[in-house]
A and B are shown apart, each in its own frame.
Chain A
Amino acid sequence: MPQRSTQGTKKSENDLVQFHNVSFSLPGTQIISDLNLTVEQGETLVLLGESGCGKTTTLKLVNRLLTPTSGEVLVEGKPTTSWDPIALRRRIGYVIQEGGLFPHFTIARNVGLVPALSGWEQARTRERVRELLTLVGLDPNRFAERYPRELSGGQRQRVGVARALAADPPLLLLDEPFGALDPLTRASLQREFADLTKRLGKTAILVTHDVREALTLGNRIGLMHKGQLVLLEPPDQFLASGNPQARAYIETLEVAGGNR
């Protein structure tokens, strides 16, 4: 480990995602300014911030739903603009709020989507779907042939995670995946997710506005404010930080804690 951090070239090979001086703007608005960030193999990086701070945009720059106005985003050492966007996206799992499931597909077809797009054989896809549904705690026999609207919010979110994992991508992007759930369901899904990424050794970038979620799931927490990364620390150092934005978040935590 120690020699890895001293050798720059080797380090960047192990860094799955790198942002180099990335800015993104729409006509009249600067969304992201001069963002520098590396995501290491196997870690879960949480981007924390209020609505409109640019955290979701940061996520979309990774799988090239957006491309930087200036600077570059490297995935596996290659700029996203040099990737074939289709190939890039099929290597990156994507989970959004409410799962973003296709309402006209069965659960099995939703989960098996990327394998099917990648041309897997049907039997292999079917087997993979059963495996994944079991992994996220849904009984394949009960759920495979149902439609998304027949499931609860928590169940849909599990399906969303299963779909993102289907083709075994090295990287997961999650945009407020647990935001729409009731507190109990959210807590248990967060625990299961943390176990899952650790067990599967997945790298993940997760976006949230919930500081508790950030502390629970993140190996490192990146705090974003008005399009800039103002802090990037592991949870314990985040809690000890003197940064005013970070303090504001920590105070909400203490108020909640005091009430308990």
Chain B
Amino acid sequence: MSFWQFLQLNWSELLLLVRQHIVLVFIAILVAVIIGVPTGIALTRYRALRGPVLGLANVMQTIPSLALFGFLIPLPFIGGIGSRTALVALVLYSLLPIIRNTVTGILGVEPSVREAAVAMGMTDGQVLRQVELPLAMGVIVTGIRVATVIAVGVTTIAAAVGAGGLGVYIFRGLRQYDNNLLLAGALSAALLALAADFFLGLVERRFSFEAKRSRSATWKVASVAGAAGVLLLILGGFALWRSGAGPGSSAQARVVIGSKDFTESALLAEILAQMLETRGVSVERRFELGGNLPHEALVGGTLDLYPEYTGTSFTAILHHAPISDPRAVYEQVKQEYANKFKVEVSQPLGFENTFAILVRGEEARRLNLKTISDAAPQAPRWRAGFGQDFMSRADGYPGFSRAYGLKFAEVREMDLSLTYIALSSRQVDLIAGNSTEGRIATLDLVQLIDDRHYFPPYEAVYLVRQDSLARVPALQAVLSKLANGISTEEMRRLNYEIDGNKRDPKEVVKQWIAGKTW
């Protein structure tokens, strides 16, 4: 599919993401200005505060954005998932340039001019409003401009906490190895940043009095500021009204469904969402949440449910050493989740998504490789490619290589979705993929058997809050329908429809549900 075709097909979604992106940046900058400019003014009045406050703002900006999101998620009121968390982080990032430029701008006003203002009998407020702020406005707007451009960039990461925006395309493009998605997301974000820079540059020139010679310049400044203010209020009000109409307004029949940030998880979430919707339950989708977010959000009450794998819960969340008996893992997870988190574990959906140790088909046939143990002697000549997740988790690379005595010539850590391509194009010789990955068949890859039963079972389940089950009776009905309802082959095919054939997940799910005879 060419980029142009992609745009034609996804035009409306792209516009939606652009709008989300703009609204996020806009509200964040608005709030940052409302907080930052008065703070900057205060710092010019209370010199002793200047060092500590600017230092704090400086530290805020050096925290990597993903880490900041991570800190914010468990916090009450400002945390959780969705646009609120993203906004808090964006505001924190935007504060420094705005505060610093406000301070610099005001302190940069010629001392003789300030003294004249005081000597004319202006009150402190009049000095500020009539002399210091107008003269500092150019510098302050520069700060807002810098903050805005930074915010456009940081907002792409907000997709990781489910806040939407163009990051959705970028993350999805990375996962699905889809250049069209990547390009659409990154190009739009870049264009947004350039546009914001350009327009704020115009505003800045308006405000820097040195550059203008016009007769009614002060009036113009006032009118531009006024118009901008009105626009801010309208858009801000609209955004608030929209968000006010959002979650929580009719808690009774509403279910918030989350998913992790990969295709299969989003698919499983979508399946449940559509089945609930046909039963008249309204659903809010908070898909593609990164890292531990879905779990945190579920326990924190922001999500009602999300799809998970028993092995992941067992090792990554409950911190047990991997064991290989599926039944034992399931039972223990079920019990501990009920006790610790008041979360119900659904019946297994009928397939496993375990780590699949994959090699090229031709290689497997040539060397007659069936199991991982068969491949161990080849390892010293092989390069391996693993996703970040596999490299770091308890049941991942460290234990895996020990269990089979593997010593690779080289181990590369890369994005999971890129490893399939890397393998088939001979960049690497062995990868740890997902067993339900659709591309296993299409790229002619072979899954080696885990003959030492190293990997714990990863049965797909839904994790549902107990209070949600009690609140929405339809949930129980849908969950029992889905018990053992999806086979590994079906899952692989569904995944491939999306990752391989680039079809719309909603359509794929709709079709799949329609084909089912419950």
Q: Footprint of B on A, CB under 8 Å?
A: 63, 65, 85-90, 92, 94, 96-98, 100-106, 109, 113-114, 117-118, 145, 147, 149-150, 163, 173
CB pair A117 B121 closer than 8 Å: yes
1/0 per position for B208-223, CB-CB distance to A under 8 A? 0110010101100000
1/0 per position for B112-155, CB-CB distance to A under 8 A? 11011111111100100011001100000000000000000000
CB pair B115 A103 closer than 8 Å: no
Interface residue from B112, B121, B131, B217 paired with A98 (Cβ < 8 Å) = B112
CB pair B113 A63 closer than 8 Å: no
Instruction: How many A-B residue pairs have C-beta atoms within 8 angstroms? Tell me.
Output: 67
CB pair B118 A100 closer than 8 Å: no
Complex contacts, A87 vs chain B, CB 8 Å = 121
Interface residue from A86, A88, A98, A103 paired with B209 (Cβ < 8 Å) = A103
Question: Which of B113, B120, B210 has the most chain A CB atoms inside 10 A of its CB?
Answer: B120
CB pair B119 A63 closer than 8 Å: yes
Q: What is the chain A residue whose CB lies nearest that of B119?
A: A94
Q: What is the chain B residue whose CB lies nearest that of A169?
A: B121
CB pair B126 A117 closer than 8 Å: yes
| Chain B positions 157-190 with a Cβ under 8 Å from a chain A Cβ | none
CB pair B209 A104 closer than 8 Å: yes
**How many residues belonging to B are interface residues under a CB distance threshold of 8 Å?**
23
CB pair B118 A103 closer than 8 Å: no
CB pair A96 B121 closer than 8 Å: no
CB pair A96 B120 closer than 8 Å: no
C-alpha spacing A114/B118, complex, angstroms: 11
Interface residue from A65, A104, A147 paired with B115 (Cβ < 8 Å) = A65
C-alpha spacing A145/B213, complex, angstroms: 10
- In the A-B complex, the 10 residue pairs with the smallest Cβ-Cβ separation, listed nearest first, are A100-B116, A89-B121, A90-B121, A94-B119, A104-B209, A100-B112, A104-B134, A86-B121, A145-B215, A114-B120
Question: Which of A63, A92, A147 has the most chain B CB atoms inside 10 A of its CB?
Answer: A147
Known: A104-B209, A104-B218, A145-B215. A89 touches B115 (CB 8 A): no
Complex contacts, A85 vs chain B, CB 8 Å = 121
CB pair B218 A96 closer than 8 Å: no
CB pair B116 A94 closer than 8 Å: yes
In angstroms, how far is the closest chain A Cβ from the Cβ of B132? 11
Complex contacts, A150 vs chain B, CB 8 Å = 213
Complex contacts, A106 vs chain B, CB 8 Å = 215, 218
CB pair A147 B213 closer than 8 Å: yes
Complex contacts, A92 vs chain B, CB 8 Å = 119
In angstroms, how far is the closest chain B Cβ from the Cβ of A117? 6
CB pair A94 B218 closer than 8 Å: no
CB pair B120 A103 closer than 8 Å: no
CB pair B115 A114 closer than 8 Å: no
C-alpha spacing A182/B120, complex, angstroms: 27
C-alpha spacing A106/B112, complex, angstroms: 18
Q: What is the chain A residue whose CB lies nearest that of B117?
A: A102
Q: What is the chain B residue whose CB lies nearest that of A104?
A: B209
Complex contacts, B209 vs chain A, CB 8 Å = 103-104, 147
CB pair B135 A65 closer than 8 Å: no
24 residue pairs bridging A and B, Cβ less than 8 Å apart = A65-B115, A85-B121, A86-B122, A88-B121, A96-B115, A96-B119, A98-B112, A100-B112, A100-B115, A102-B113, A102-B130, A102-B131, A104-B209, A104-B217, A105-B218, A106-B215, A109-B218, A113-B120, A114-B120, A117-B121, A117-B122, A145-B215, A147-B209, A173-B119
Complex contacts, A100 vs chain B, CB 8 Å = 112-113, 115-116
C-alpha spacing A35/B413, complex, angstroms: 80
